[in-house]
Structure 1
Amino acid sequence: MIVAVAQRYFLEHGYAATTMSGIAAALGGSKGTLWTYFRSKEELFAAALADQAHRYQAELSQLLDPSIPVQTALERACASLFKKITSPEAIAVNRLIIAEGARFPQIARMFFDLAPKNTRALLATFIGDAMARGSLRKADPSEAAQALTALLMGGIHKQLLLGGIDDVDQNVARAEVHCAVDLFLRAYAPSQD
């Protein structure tokens, strides 16, 4: 409950304008009670980010199933990841980090470590295993995961971040995901020795 209210509060007010008193008031409780759970605004912000990130990464882990063909697993995982990163909540968090990360570098590091870095690590593990099985050509799995996420974050995601569009046409989204996975699989196709 505390974390959910804090998530909304941070997104509505930004990091700088959020206070523990404001969150306590939104909860309908006292600041003292809030302080017994979280020692600082930064700790509460970390908990709010971690809650979302860990829940999503658990879902993504299920989609990256090594027992199904690599293309199928990547298409499912990338469709899910694309939906996540283009959701209004994710766009709002990204905008908050971009807007306030220079003044509060600790929140930018926190966000990167909890969300993009951990998500890429999950993808890298799956990709590395696929490389070891010969389903993808051998390369650096971390670099491959970074390339795949970069493909997903180019078009629609960037337009949403910049306010060029307000919502995602699902046909365009499917095409963008398909294109990203197709390009990735072409780049990392096993050698035909």
Structure 2
Amino acid sequence: MERDLKAATGKREARKQDRRLAIMAIARRMFLENGYAATSMSAIAAELGGSKATLWNYFPSKEELFDAVLDDATAAYRQQLTDLLRPTPDLGATVLAFTRSFIAKITSRDAVQLHRLVAAEAARSPEVGLIFSRVPQRTRQLLAEFFAAAMAAGQLRQADPADAANVVTYLCMVLQQRVLWGGAAPTAAEIEAGAATATEVFLRAYAPERSHSA
């Protein structure tokens, strides 16, 4: 009896999760195609084939749904960073691996499309910009924790880890700006060169301070 109850509960949870993913898939497509302001919860519910009340049971507001869509879109990348940003004796190799992956991520078609959507919508829907700002904040938090450990180990000079995270991410945005303004997507060679430059500049700026003998 208990086993049957657990099995039934598990099936219900699986159905709820499937429904939630279906909602986010529809919402993501509609946000990208129509924009945030022009996408309504009613339209999402209609395409889903359920009532608006059912949709609200999963997401009480459009803002929460948009936040969930962004979180889901970046979850795999955050896990990749969590696996990558671990204490290591070869700090340079890890920073290079990060800059390479980050440049590839922010210049990808999906990321550029989403960035343009937010830029177009933020003026009339300020909540869009506020929600979107949480995405880079999550990445920078992971970086800041990694840099704090590197500073404690003497691999980087003592500084504000959050500032260090901001610096390295800004250094990676050169190619992104080109793509956002309609330029060609970077080649693998351009990503590698951009990553190498960003890494070198960052490591020089945050190199451990040498002790001076008296």
Q: TM-score, normalised by structure 1?
A: 0.92
- After TM superposition, list the pairs within 5 Å mapping 1:59-78 onto structure 2: 59-78=80-99
Moved more, 173-182 or 4-13: 4-13
Distance 1:88 1:26 in 2: 25
Query: Match for 1:60: what amino acid?
Result: L
Give the AA of the match of 1:171.
Answer: A
Q: Which of 138, 143, 149 matches 2:163?
A: 143
Q: Supply the AA of the counterpart residue of 1:56.
A: Y
Which of 172, 177, 181 does residue 190 from structure 2 map onto? 172
CA RMSD in angstroms comes to 1.5
| Deviates most, 73-82 or 49-58 | 49-58
For 1:21 and 1:163, the matched residues in 2 are separated by 33
Do the aligned residues in 2 keep the contact of 1:20 with 1:41 (CA within 8 Å)?
yes
Query: Could you tell me how far 1:89 is from its partner in structure 2?
Result: 1.0
Q: Name the SS of the counterpart of 2:37 in structure 1.
A: helix
Q: CA deviation at 1:152?
A: 0.2
Matched, 1:3 2:21: no
1:126 maps to 2:126: no
> In structure 2, do the counterparts of structure 1 residues 133 and 41 end up closer, same or farther at CA, with 3 Å as the change threshold?
same
Distance 1:57 1:158 in 2: 22
8 A Cα contact 1:101 1:107, kept in partner: yes
Q: For 1:192, give the aligned amino acid.
A: R
Q: Structure 1 residue 140: deviation in Å?
A: 1.1
1:173, distance to aligned residue in structure 2 (A): 0.9
Q: How does 1:73-88 map to 2 (within 5 A)?
A: 73-88=94-109
Q: How many residues align?
A: 190
Same amino acid, percent of matched pairs: 46
Letter paired with 1:151: L
Contact 1:60–1:81 at 8 Å: present in 2 too?
Answer: no
Structure 1 residue ranges, 4+ long, deviating more than 4 angstroms after superposition? none
For structure 2, the 5+ residue unaligned runs are 1-21
* Structure 1 position 30, deviation (Å): 3.6
Unaligned runs of 5+ residues in structure 1 are none
Report whether the alignment pairs 1:95 with 2:116: yes
Give 1:55's aligned amino acid: A
Whole-angstrom distance in 1 between the partners of 2:48 and 2:196: 43
Equivalent-residue separation in structure 1 for 2:46 and 2:191 (angstroms): 39
Letter in 2 for 1:91: V
Amino acid at match of 1:143: D
1:96 to 1:137, Cα distance in 2 relative to 1, 3 A = same
Shift of 1:84: 1.2
Q: In the alignment, which residue of structure 2 is the partner of 1:160?
A: 179
Note the C-alpha offset of 1:68.
Answer: 4.4
- C-alpha contact 1:75 1:178 (8 A) present in aligned 2: yes
| CA distance 1:68–1:80, change in 2 (3 Å) | farther
Distance (whole Å) between structure 2 residues aligned to residue 168 and residue 8 of structure 1: 25
Question: Counterparts of 2:166 and 2:95 in 1: how far apart (Å)?
Answer: 14
Q: What corresponds to 2:10 in structure 1?
A: none
Task: Normalising by structure 2, report the TM-score.
Answer: 0.83
What is the match of residue 33 of structure 1? Answer: 54
The residue type paired with residue 159 of structure 2 is A
Specify the SS of the correspondent of 2:88: coil
1:177 and 1:47 map into 2 onto residues whose CA distance is 30
